[in-house]
């Protein structure tokens, strides 16, 4: 189970004008008005999960690393509701990718993989797809906020749904 490649880095000067426009207009992405409404349960912070003392998750349950990874995905979901710049979002996805790489996937119990590992990995992949799409838009002078926002919203909505499956 390998996630998509980490987001590609773009030179800082590409699309500076568009970046400034996106930073000013996309902070509300994921918030009220443009995103599909979330249930009250999805909007409330998650209670801390009980973790297993079994570091690899052998014999059932998930290790703390998996729970921490899912909690980090949930934190990103909440940050998107408030708004992030491309740089903030890209850095958060990079951090998630590093956390994912540290999980001993080959030693996880099948229950953990099926219930939590697979949906959380797919959520990470959607975030990687979104950061790449946003970066490509920034590099394309013909790309507009109006054209990229629905794409990002869709990817974020799918990632949120997958994360809900992992919780």
HSE-up of 160 (CA within 13 Å, CB side)? 22
Instruction: List the one residue out of 24, 32, 162 whose CA is nearest residue 84.
Output: 24
Whole-angstrom distance, CA of residue 140 vs CA of residue 137: 5
Transcribe 31-64 into DSSP letters.
Answer: STTTSPPPPHHHHSPPPPPP--S-TT-TTSS--H
Separation of alpha carbons 58 and 110, rounded Å? 9
pTM over 0.75: no
Contact between residue 29 and residue 130 where contact means Cβ atoms under 8 Å apart: no
**Is there a contact between 83 and 116 (Cβ–Cβ < 8 Å)?**
no
The CA-CA-CA angle for residues 48, 34, 25, to 5°, reads: 100
Question: How confident is the prediction along the chain (167 residues), in pLDDT tens digits per residue?
Answer: 555 555 554 333 333 333 333 333 344 443 333 333 333 334 344 443 443 344 444 434 799 999 999 999 999 999 999 999 999 999 999 999 999 999 998 889 999 999 999 999 999 999 999 999 999 999 999 999 899 999 999 999 999 999 999 86
């Amino acid at each position: 189970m390998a996630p998509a490649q980490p987001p590609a880095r773009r030179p800082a000067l590409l699309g500076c004008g568009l970046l400034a426009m996106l930073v000013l207009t996309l902070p509300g992405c994921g918030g009220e008005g443009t995103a599909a409404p979330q249930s009250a349960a999805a909007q409330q912070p998650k209670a801390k999960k009980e973790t297993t003392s079994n570091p690899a998750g052998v014999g059932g349950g998930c290790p703390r690393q998996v729970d921490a990874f899912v909690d980090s995905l949930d934190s990103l979901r909440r940050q998107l509701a408030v708004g992030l710049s491309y740089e903030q979002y890209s850095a958060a996805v990079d951090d998630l990718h590093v956390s994912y790489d540290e999980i001993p996937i080959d030693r996880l119990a099948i229950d953990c993989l099926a219930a939590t590992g697979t949906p959380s990995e797919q959520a990470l992949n959607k975030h990687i797809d979104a950061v790449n799409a946003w970066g490509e838009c920034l590099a394309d002078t013909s790309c507009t906020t109006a054209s990229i926002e629905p794409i990002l919203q869709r990817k974020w909505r799918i990632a949120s749904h997958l994360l809900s499956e992992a919780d």
